[in-house]
Amino acid sequence: MRRIVLVVILLVAVAAAGGYWWKTRQAAKEAAATAAAPAGGFSVPVEASPVETGSIDLVIPAVGTLRSNESIQVAPEIPGRLAEILVQEGQKIEEGTVIARLDQSVYRAELQQAQSGLELAKADVERYKKMRAGEVASEQAMQRANAALSDNLARISLAEANMAKTELRAPFDGVLGLRRVSLGDYLDAGDVIINLEQVDPLKVDFRVPEIYYTTVKLGQTIKLEIDALPGETFEGTIYAMDPLIDAGGRSIVLRAHVPNSLDKLRPGLFARVSLVYDTHPNALLVPESAIVPFGSQKFVFRVVDGKAAQTQIKVGEYVNGKVEVLEGLQAGELVVTAGQLKIADGMGVAPIPNAAAPAEPAAGGDSGGSSGGDAGTASGGG
């Protein structure tokens, strides 16, 4: 009996000691938390950025392929042996330059033969005129002589035309491509010798949705980005529009000239086209990361007197990682850009200084975004 009493007393003592230790430990934790918290309560560290203003371009994005302004396959109109090649592959030439020459011997002989026949025909005509005056020659003989004269004149014209066609001349300024034949080859009419490309300016064809039919105008400026030339932007001007709407793709085909005086561009390059159709000056912009979507609504957390203020906003275009704000914010207000999941409306926040660099002006940005949220100059395709 005494042993049981001792065990009970021992258990009570251990329980009392454990309770005292737990209470002391909790008090120490609360004291440490109180000491660590700043005056006025605990503040959650967040990244924040000011609302800024900038001008944004609204664009229609498209893609196209650069093409030569003019492009031909240099080929003879008549058959013959290739006697001379007077240019080099890749050479820049001017309009009228003789590119190649066919053997002229056969055509020269035909011309001489026609000229000889002409002299004989002229003599016959004169003879028959005299005979006709003396009523020695018939009217039919005179007609035959005149017909022979006309025939020889036509043969001379044909021979002269063939002689001229033995020389292949450049119809415009351009750059030669690669030869496809060798000196001495026998060529039939239409056999390609070399290609000639006019590369300044270049052309680019691209399509835009038919809903922009009344928006697109001749003379509008486009911007191009070339995958092969990263970081560079080129400009062009729309000069032609297909009068037919593509019923299959519901689109309009546009054609623009792209200056290439520096010879950086080449026909065949893939181009990303941005057609600027409107500009929003003095737009309010916030980082895209500041937007907190909730269903169809958009919110941001403003930082007001050290506290988070949940604010509903109306957004416009998405531009270069920024979002145009139409309603709900003013320029200069501070909005949370990272850490929104850790805070709630009215909670204390501590913005981290210099967490986000100031927004760059959005004007002149390149296409690739849409009002649905892609980065880049605001696209009208969304």
The enclosing domain of 127 has a CATH number of 1.10.287.470
Residues facing residue 101 across a β-bridge: 84, 167
pLDDT tens column, 221-255 = 999 999 999 999 999 999 999 999 998 889 999 99
Residues facing residue 313 across a β-bridge: 298
Among 212, 270, 262, 268, which residue's Cα sits nearest to residue 238? 212
Cα–Cα distances (Å) from 62 to 205, 221, 236, 355, 367, in that order, read 10, 14, 14, 35, 8
- Residues 319 and 296 placed together within one structural domain of the fold: yes
Global pTM? 0.64
**Tokens, residue 271:** 């181009």
Strand order in the sheet with 167-169: 167-169, 98-102, 80-85, 186-187
pLDDT tens column, 114-173 = 887 777 777 766 776 666 565 656 767 667 777 777 777 888 888 888 999 999 999 999
- Residues 372 and 292 placed together within one structural domain of the fold: yes
Mean pLDDT of the chain: 83
pLDDT tens column, 304-328 = 999 999 999 999 988 888 999 999 9
Domain that holds residue 332: 44-56+280-379
What CATH number does the domain containing 99 carry? 2.40.50.100
Domain count, the chain: 4
Q: What is the DSSP string of 8-34?
A: HHHHHHHHHHHHHHHHHHHHHHHHHHH
Give SS3 for 238.
Answer: strand
Q: How far apart are the C-alpha atoms of 382 and 370, rounded to whole Å?
A: 5
- Residues 301 and 359 placed together within one structural domain of the fold: yes
pLDDT tens column, 254-270 = 999 999 999 999 999 99
pLDDT tens column, 286-299 = 999 999 999 999 99
Model confidence band, residue 37 (pLDDT cutoffs 50, 70, 90): very low
Residues facing residue 224 across a β-bridge: 234, 273
- Residues 212 and 251 placed together within one structural domain of the fold: yes
